[in-house]
Chain A
Amino acid sequence: MKEVSYYPGCSLHGTAREYDESLRGVCHLLNIQLHELEDWTCCGASSAHCTDEGLAFQLAARNLALAEKQGLELLVPCVACYSRFKTAEKEVKDHSERHSKEIQFPYQGNVPIRYALDFFCEESILEEVKRKKVKPLSGLKVVCYYGCLTVRPPKVTGIRDYENPQHMDRLMELLGAEPIQWSYKTDCCGASLVMTRTDIVRSLGQKLLSMAKEAEADCVVTGCPMCQSNLDTRQDEFEKEGGQTFDLPILYFTELMGLALGHRDVKKWLGRHLTDPIKVLESKGLL
């Protein structure tokens, strides 16, 4: 039994419920116990980081301080939260003297902050997945979409292959799916501009989905709630933009893990998507 602290963040309690549910489901099957941080608050990703640097730091530090008290590694499924936390961690490590004065919470920078995708791609967990896999995702062609913040900025994430990451591809291969190599793994989907520049969002989203389609993917796999909701909910707009029908389900990697591990709630998770994934999974004999 492995135990970790868990910070779901606002998305996973709202628009990305299926991400939360599937992640919890997968952890259950893999014998990983999640301890949700008590009294967690906003990470600062929504507006704080572009309006008040100090506040943005304090918000992240408050949650990290809670985690530090628990003394476990902290599992963070939302990539925006992850980025805020890693930034705060770097701040503390690079400028300890500065922050020891400002900081209102006893955060020392000692919590291992683990983004969910990185966490599940660890060798020991992959081994466990391999052992417990009951339904290989044979015949399912996927494109892995890491988005922008999963791997960048490398100074913050510490990831080396940030230009062409491979870990999600390896995970998908292990689940029995066929990850297709494509050039748009880490391109921006435009989610941060959905309120301000919808024209840019449309052209970015259209490009991504048309390339995924050209790669003959059955679905797009991601680990970012913003990418997922942007690409899923606006798909009709993107279709209009390019005059091309996509009908491409945008799935969380945890949902496919759950499917391969035989979780009984998979259909419930998948039912929450706007672009229906059930149809394509059924056609492959996977549901």
Chain B
Amino acid sequence: MAEKVGAVMVVGGGIAGIQASLDLAESGYYVYLVEASPAIGGVMAQLDKTFPTNDCSMCILSPKLVEAGRHLNIQTLTYSEVVSVEGEPGNFEITVRKKPRYVDPAKCTGCGECPQACPVNIKSEFDEALVNQKAIYRPYAQAFPNIFTIEKGDRAPCTLTCPAQINVQGYVALTSVGKYKEALSLIRENLPLPGILGRICPHPCEKECNRKELDQPIAICELKRFLADQVKEEIPVQKEETKEERVAIVGSGPAGLTAAAFLAQKGYPVTIFESLPVIGGMLHVGIPSYRLPREVIDQEVKAIQSLGVEIKTNSPVGPNLSFDDLFKEGYQAIFVAVGAHRDQKLGIPGEENPNVIPGVVFLRKANLGQKVEVGQQVAVVGGGNVAIDAARTALRMGAKEVNLFYRRSREEMPAYEEDVEEAEVEGIKFNFLSTPVEILSKGKEGITLHLIRMELGEPDASGRRRPIPIQGSDFYAEVDTLIPAIGQVPDLSFMQGMGLEVTSKGTIQVDPITLQTSRKGIFAGGDAVSGPWIAIEAVAAGKEAALSIDRFLRGKDLYEGRGKPKPSKARFEDIYAGQSKSPREKVATIPLEERQKTFAEVKKGWTEEQAHREALRCLNCGYCSECLQCATLCKAGAIQHQMAEEMVKFKVGSIILCPGFDEFDAIRLTPYGYGRFANVVTSIQFERILSASGPFQGNLLRPSDQKPPKKVAWIQCAGSRDMAGNGGNEYCSSVCCMYAIKEAVIAKEHHHEVEPTIFYMDIRAHGKDFDAYYERAKNEYGVRFIRSMISRVAERPKTKNLLITYIDPEGHLKEEEFDLVVLSVGLTPSKGAKDLAKKLGLQLDPYGFCKTEEFSPLQTSQPGIYVCGAFQGPKDIPETVAQASAAVTSASTLLSDVRATLTKKKEYPLEVDVMDQEPRIGVFVCHCGINIGGVVNVPEVKEYAKTLDHVVYVDENLYTCSQDTQEKIKKAIQENRLNRVVVASCSPRTHEPLFQETIREVGLNKYLFEMTNIRDQCSWVHMHQPKEATEKAKELLRMVVAKASLLRPLKEPLVEVNRKGLVIGGGLSGMRAALKLAQQGFECALIEREAELGGNLRHIYSTLEGNDPQALLKEIIEEVTKNPNIQVFTKSELKTINGYVGNFKSTLYVNGSEKEYDHGVIIVAVGAKERTPTEYLYGQDPRVITQKELEEKIALHWEKINSYRHIVMIQCVGSRTPERPNCSRICCSLAVKNALKIKEKNPEIKITILYRDMRTYGLMERYYTQARHQGIQFIPYQLDSKPELRVDSGLLNLKVKDQILGEEVLIQPDLVVLASAIVPYENESLAKTLKVPLTADGFFLEAHMKLRPVDFATDGIFLAGLAHFPKSISESLSQADAAVARATSVIAKGYVSVLPTISEVDPNRCVGCGLCELLCPFSAIRVVETERGSKAETIAASCKGCGVCASSCTQRAITIHHFTDEQLSAQIEALAPLKEKEAA
């Protein structure tokens, strides 16, 4: 077997993962905490308040985030996922994939500037899509790690489609925020001709635009034109230093110009040889100026020339200037881009007629301003762009009528749709399915065209249907001029004999990747290679050629990293969701009469507003648009758009899985209209709406109109307890009732006018103090509860209010209108968890939760791998936290022999003694990028700091928290012999420990550090008052410097702990706790007041899941009694206890005699009991028994039970009453269990269960369902009409008002079974001995109901089992393990470190009044008898330094170190003189 590894991997960074990590790290294991999202915190970070205490969720979570995040022995791997796990329990090898954040975590300071530069808005996942966030984001302000992440999908389809790979999404996004110059410069990175292509590009990108699925594609091309027209100033181009090698380019079309531009940028001297008298190739002589004005060409050519490109017109390469000549002249590479200028012949008789002018020739002449006579009647043959251009040009040159003949139909026309439409408007007549067969000369007057009609046959090789002549359909047209325009080919006659190979199609042969021709050093591209094709392809070729030529001239590999990238599977999900339609912006044209006569540009450009509107239509398919604005802005240089994913490997001994849950996808509940109706939200969305950091800054507003809603409805069980097969889950999600009640209460607190209504089936308030909360909601807050399941929600079209039909308590059908509807969505196992389980080979239950056994609730189907939290089954936060700790006990038991083998301990240099020195203070003022520096005049504050007493060194930093600044600070301390350090920057909560660490590394005590927040409370809140903010920053600094001069070093003493434990209570929880301590090698004493171990478990004979509790009992007693680490004392009690965490001294009563026992921790597991009922004739009639008695009878005296015909069970006997307001949690499942057991043994026995709310929470719901299927009858009753039981003529008569029927029902049962309340024992004296509190019900009260469920506020004492609150066997086992984990985190280390910032009593002043002892929430101060009378003393190991004692001491006898009166007064004094001055 491989050696065990003293490290554990925790998967999932929610509250469970955080708690498990902290307990593990404190117990001596190194932890890898792997979280899929960019930050830890999980769902709890999204919640507003938590029930039942109404604590702010973020406020209680955030200290845990910081603690886990900064822990030396917890390595957080965020934005990461587990790839593989190999090995065996004790030794697993893990591979984790760290997804690229595109932000360097080492450099990002979390300053928060970058989102402001980002033009891309995407739905905020954290805010549940209620608002947008930027593509560069941090989920929430308190996130750990405090690092930004860029959300990238696949590249947008527009960019992927563009032959030149222009970053389309990027420039569209930049246009949407008005950054035109940046947008244009982004285009220019791939295209030096934006104004030209913005006019003539057939934009294949728009065909792929995802927006077309919604309405119409984005007008990408038009936006490009807008940018080119809009930006008048020159865009600076980065030009590399001039190189020697000269390059010749043949042809000045789009390919040649592009290559020239990019080569010139690389520093090469470039000369273009152009045979025509004008520059631009086909752009100039092919495209008429009404589509592409000459000045646009001139302007962009000029820009290229300004890069140093020389263009020689009228300079044909050919016999007089061969490629060899060019090489001889010193050119070292040549790019041939001569286009395709030769027309294709019709190939029919009569084509040589002078009135026949080929399309390209006609256009060239016209575009060069040469005179061409076209006459009145013109015929054009062809269906491509040249044909359309020729036809429209002919019209502008005076033709009366222009007829276009095309052999196929309109659908097959290759010309651009827009141009065809424009031509049609201008009056060009289209004649489809006709083609000329002969040209008959009419002499000078013109020609007679002999045509024939065609029909379409089967598709040919091009995919278009082949035209077939129709015999005998000949017809004739009289025309003055015929312009055939059926295609062009490259004219390569000039390069005959120059050694370049030509393809069979008459184009130049090149390598498809490098564009190199058959001659080394000569490259070719554009139409000369591809045949006539679109300009943007020519641009792309020019770009590629430039790259090849550069590599060629630098002697590099031409192929490396090239070739078309394989388009990956695109990830554009949900981009249409919630998008409203908005039509594409229209393009205006000049008046028709102008269009028919002049060559003025037909299309008008857009206004800024139009461009803005259009750009905003972009769906941002690729999320980040890679516009690089963030990279430009980030002063820390943290943005890395090229970041790749990283694989991390490590070894662990065990794995704890807590991947959490997904909320049920409400879109599946179509009748509720989620996703269609704006004001139907999910409960988690409602949490965000309530949250102060949420989309509406904590204002309770509804999404449709952002007005405060008055009537708000909750629909419970959305996706839970759903038997209708509507896509919902069968189980109960356990938490929704309580969170809905809480949301209703908090909503009411936000706005008193809110009228909350909760529609439910059963209210399941089964947790500790939950029912009291429910009652308060009803009675104090006026939350209306209606037991009616809602089948659908309708929306009123105008108001967007919602109509709900329900059955009111009187049984009437009602319709009611609400302003807002909240769906209480259930919990489902997260998708990621399912994938993970697959990788680890874990078995899942039928619902997809991790399969575990009832008596080993955290053990997965794979040894060494444990589960906790909602992945194990739906549960609330305290249970999750308890399970997290419990899982730690499992892992720790497995690995206890390698404990503390991998944990790190930091060594620091010896501390400098500063007590004898004068204060020498160093002050570091932070700019925080521009967060502070943009408002506060930092240099001024810095200068001011120099004037303060004791300040000997001052510096300012861009980011004081960055790694390099830490080095700077250390150096400054050493060089200037600083003995106090002050930082004026941001929040001490997040940053103080970092700076303390820094000064410790150079030998300063960490308490010689002070910090003031000039960001959150200064620059941020006064951002519009820079002058005043600067003054305030100075004041804040002055105050903190005054305190700093009085700082004293403090020691953090370590107190050794006794590693033994004392477990009070020998029931299941106590035994389990003792056993788990013992199995980890810790000795303990287990004391039980009865003569036997076992507690309640002794009376349990079956479980719902069918396991045998008696076997469990036998097994655990055997293990406990055999384990040498456990001393069992029965018939024993705790008499007294002294001491504190780590050092308790107890006196036990064992069998009548006293016994001393020393130990470090205590676990209280004293249990609870079934109350003896006083109602329903219990004790008076033998036919009335309790559920516990029934269970025993079923198991031991079945023949008795079997003799009954009808058994009635009454729930909530003594629970949920005014005297005992809380639920006993387990009685509903107990009743269902016993009822099912009876039915299993004898289905003939009729069973009726009278209940108030059936609380078979979580996965137990299936047994409730099963019970109904078995014919068990369930009748709901209400507290104010309890069932009545009487004996009449010897028969039991039970009357109950059925809440659903609204009628009284009479039953005559043979047996009545009471589900009597679970009540605590008399715990008062034990509580007093331990100095721990009880709830009003008499159960023990834990330190915090949410996050410290098994701790007491007093250190070293822990809680488990029914003494805490009623719970099931499996919950008791988890809780016992949790208590052990918490106890282990104290004793495993062998010492506790004592906080130095604690109270100290001056015995000379103390009068021993005891007020402090009374007030201390941690039992950390007590009055003791001394020689000088009663004096208070601090229990250092327990004190938290909260200051309650010091501030309440009437004698001022108590000081809190680090916050002494002297220090605080100095701080206040420092502020005071200013006030005096003002007064003067």
Show the binding face of A for B, using Cβ within 8 Å.
161, 163-164, 180-184, 211, 214-216
The reply to whether B798 and A214 form a contact with Cβ atoms under 8 Å apart is: yes
Known contacts A161-B670, A163-B671: A184-B676 contact under CB 8 Å: no
Q: What CA separation (Å) do A215 and B792 show in the bound complex?
A: 19
Q: What CA separation (Å) do A182 and B802 show in the bound complex?
A: 12
Min Cβ gap A93→B in Å is 21
A residues in contact with B792, CB < 8 Å = 163
B561 interface contact, C-beta 8 A: no
B463 interface contact, C-beta 8 A: no
Residue interface bits B784-806, CB-to-A below 8 A is 1, else 0: 00000000111111100001000
The reply to whether B795 and A183 form a contact with Cβ atoms under 8 Å apart is: yes
B673 interface contact, C-beta 8 A: yes
Residue interface bits B831-847, CB-to-A below 8 A is 1, else 0: 00000000000000000
A residues in contact with B803, CB < 8 Å = 183
B residues in contact with A163, CB < 8 Å = 670-671, 792
21 CB contacts below 8 A, A to B, read A163-B670, A163-B671, A163-B792, A164-B670, A164-B676, A180-B797, A181-B676, A182-B797, A183-B677, A183-B793, A183-B794, A183-B795, A183-B803, A184-B794, A211-B794, A211-B796, A214-B796, A214-B797, A214-B798, A215-B797, A215-B798
A residues in contact with B673, CB < 8 Å = 183
Q: What CA separation (Å) do A164 and B726 show in the bound complex?
A: 14
A residues in contact with B795, CB < 8 Å = 182-183
Min Cβ gap B29→A in Å is 51
Known contacts A164-B676, A181-B676: A211-B797 contact under CB 8 Å: yes
Question: Residue on A with the closest CB to B797?
Answer: A215
A residues in contact with B794, CB < 8 Å = 183-184, 211
Question: Residue on A with the closest CB to B671?
Answer: A163
The reply to whether A216 and B797 form a contact with Cβ atoms under 8 Å apart is: yes
Main secondary structure of the interface of A (DSSP, over half): loop
Min Cβ gap A209→B in Å is 13
Residues of chain B in range 756-812 having any CB-CB distance to chain A below 8 Å: 792-798, 803
Question: Residue on A with the closest CB to B670?
Answer: A163
Residues of chain B in range 666-690 having any CB-CB distance to chain A below 8 Å: 670-671, 673, 676-677
Q: What CA separation (Å) do A215 and B795 show in the bound complex?
A: 10
B residues in contact with A183, CB < 8 Å = 673, 677, 793-795, 803
Q: What CA separation (Å) do A35 and B1277 show in the bound complex?
A: 63
A-B contact count (CB 8 A): 27
A residues in contact with B797, CB < 8 Å = 180, 182, 211, 214-216
B residues in contact with A184, CB < 8 Å = 794
Min Cβ gap A146→B in Å is 14
Show the binding face of B for A, using Cβ within 8 Å.
670-671, 673, 676-677, 792-798, 803
A residues in contact with B793, CB < 8 Å = 183
B residues in contact with A214, CB < 8 Å = 796-798
- Having A163-B792, A182-B795, A214-B797, one finds 13 other A-B pairs with CB under 8 Å, namely A161-B670, A163-B670, A164-B676, A180-B797, A181-B676, A182-B797, A183-B673, A183-B793, A183-B795, A183-B803, A211-B796, A211-B797, A216-B798
Q: What CA separation (Å) do A181 and B800 show in the bound complex?
A: 12
Min Cβ gap A137→B in Å is 17
Q: What CA separation (Å) do A215 and B803 show in the bound complex?
A: 14
Q: What CA separation (Å) do A100 and B209 show in the bound complex?
A: 55
Question: Residue on A with the closest CB to B793?
Answer: A183
Q: What CA separation (Å) do A138 and B881 show in the bound complex?
A: 60
Question: Residue on B with the closest CB to A163?
Answer: B670
Question: Residue on B with the closest CB to A182?
Answer: B797
A residues in contact with B671, CB < 8 Å = 163
Min Cβ gap A214→B in Å is 5
A residues in contact with B676, CB < 8 Å = 164, 181
A residues in contact with B796, CB < 8 Å = 211, 214
Interface centre among A164, A183, A211, A214 (most CB of B within 10 A): A183
B residues in contact with A215, CB < 8 Å = 797-798
Min Cβ gap A160→B in Å is 10
Q: What CA separation (Å) do A182 and B676 show in the bound complex?
A: 10
Min Cβ gap B1424→A in Å is 73
Min Cβ gap B812→A in Å is 14
Those 9 A-B pairs whose CB atoms lie nearest each other, nearest first: A183-B794, A163-B670, A215-B797, A183-B795, A214-B797, A163-B671, A164-B670, A214-B798, A182-B797
Question: Residue on A with the closest CB to B672?
Answer: A163
Q: What CA separation (Å) do A218 and B676 show in the bound complex?
A: 22
Question: Residue on A with the closest CB to B798?
Answer: A214
Q: What CA separation (Å) do A161 and B798 show in the bound complex?
A: 25
Q: What CA separation (Å) do A215 and B796 show in the bound complex?
A: 8
Min Cβ gap B727→A in Å is 11
Question: Residue on A with the closest CB to B799?
Answer: A214
Question: Residue on A with the closest CB to B815?
Answer: A207
Min Cβ gap A276→B in Å is 24
Q: What CA separation (Å) do A184 and B796 show in the bound complex?
A: 10
Q: What CA separation (Å) do A182 and B797 show in the bound complex?
A: 7
Question: Residue on B with the closest CB to A164?
Answer: B670
Question: Residue on B with the closest CB to A131?
Answer: B411
Question: Residue on B with the closest CB to A207?
Answer: B815
Question: Residue on A with the closest CB to B675?
Answer: A164
Q: What CA separation (Å) do A183 and B815 show in the bound complex?
A: 14
Question: Residue on B with the closest CB to A181?
Answer: B676
Question: Residue on A with the closest CB to B802?
Answer: A183
Min Cβ gap B1253→A in Å is 29
Min Cβ gap B715→A in Å is 15
Min Cβ gap A177→B in Å is 15
Q: What CA separation (Å) do A275 and B519 show in the bound complex?
A: 82
Min Cβ gap A33→B in Å is 23
Q: What CA separation (Å) do A214 and B803 show in the bound complex?
A: 14
Question: Residue on A with the closest CB to B411?
Answer: A131
Q: What CA separation (Å) do A21 and B677 show in the bound complex?
A: 38
Q: What CA separation (Å) do A182 and B803 show in the bound complex?
A: 12
Q: What CA separation (Å) do A214 and B795 show in the bound complex?
A: 11
Q: What CA separation (Å) do A250 and B793 show in the bound complex?
A: 25
Min Cβ gap B903→A in Å is 56
Q: What CA separation (Å) do A211 and B670 show in the bound complex?
A: 19
Min Cβ gap B1467→A in Å is 62
B residues in contact with A164, CB < 8 Å = 670, 676
Q: What CA separation (Å) do A211 and B817 show in the bound complex?
A: 14
Min Cβ gap B667→A in Å is 11
Min Cβ gap B495→A in Å is 49
Min Cβ gap A244→B in Å is 14
Q: What CA separation (Å) do A265 and B1418 show in the bound complex?
A: 90
Q: What CA separation (Å) do A163 and B676 show in the bound complex?
A: 12
Question: Residue on B with the closest CB to A183?
Answer: B794
Interface centre among B676, B794, B797 (most CB of A within 10 A): B797
B residues in contact with A180, CB < 8 Å = 797
Q: What CA separation (Å) do A211 and B794 show in the bound complex?
A: 10
Q: What CA separation (Å) do A215 and B794 show in the bound complex?
A: 12
Question: Residue on B with the closest CB to A216?
Answer: B797
Question: Residue on B with the closest CB to A212?
Answer: B797
Q: What CA separation (Å) do A163 and B791 show in the bound complex?
A: 11
Min Cβ gap B537→A in Å is 31
Q: What CA separation (Å) do A165 and B344 show in the bound complex?
A: 55
Q: What CA separation (Å) do A214 and B798 show in the bound complex?
A: 7
Q: What CA separation (Å) do A64 and B559 show in the bound complex?
A: 68
Q: What CA separation (Å) do A184 and B797 show in the bound complex?
A: 11
Q: What CA separation (Å) do A211 and B802 show in the bound complex?
A: 12
Q: What CA separation (Å) do A161 and B792 show in the bound complex?
A: 15
Q: What CA separation (Å) do A187 and B798 show in the bound complex?
A: 19
Min Cβ gap A101→B in Å is 32
Q: What CA separation (Å) do A214 and B801 show in the bound complex?
A: 12
Q: What CA separation (Å) do A66 and B333 show in the bound complex?
A: 81
Min Cβ gap B701→A in Å is 23
Min Cβ gap A282→B in Å is 25
Q: What CA separation (Å) do A183 and B676 show in the bound complex?
A: 10
B residues in contact with A181, CB < 8 Å = 676
Q: What CA separation (Å) do A29 and B803 show in the bound complex?
A: 43
Question: Residue on A with the closest CB to B673?
Answer: A183
Q: What CA separation (Å) do A163 and B792 show in the bound complex?
A: 10
B residues in contact with A182, CB < 8 Å = 795, 797
Question: Residue on B with the closest CB to A217?
Answer: B797
